[in-house]
Structure 1
């Protein structure tokens, strides 16, 4: 049987990922308020509906 598809799960789309606190660590290191990185990160193209 030939492989017909390959699925990649990058961070919590198909698999629930554990919050390791990495964003909070970077916020602390950079002197940012808690939650700042989440508010500044635009949604990915995959999460944005296409208007075609």
Structure 2
């Protein structure tokens, strides 16, 4: 949507900046997402282990 608005307002110079920001965001968020999924899986495994041991 930001690219569309920049194009409509004759600010085509901003399009590469917007694309670059999207790429940076993907590069930054991907490792975090992988880390969080691993952390949640470990927590779930610990919870299941505690439930099995206590039963």
Normalized per residue, the structure richer in helix is: 2
Q: TM-score range by the shorter chain?
A: under 0.3
Query: What TM-score does the superposition give when structure 1 sets the normalisation length?
Result: 0.27
Query: What TM-score does the superposition give when structure 2 sets the normalisation length?
Result: 0.26
Q: Which of structures 1 and 2 has the larger relative contact order (alpha carbons within 8 angstroms, sep 6+)?
A: 2
Larger radius of gyration: 2
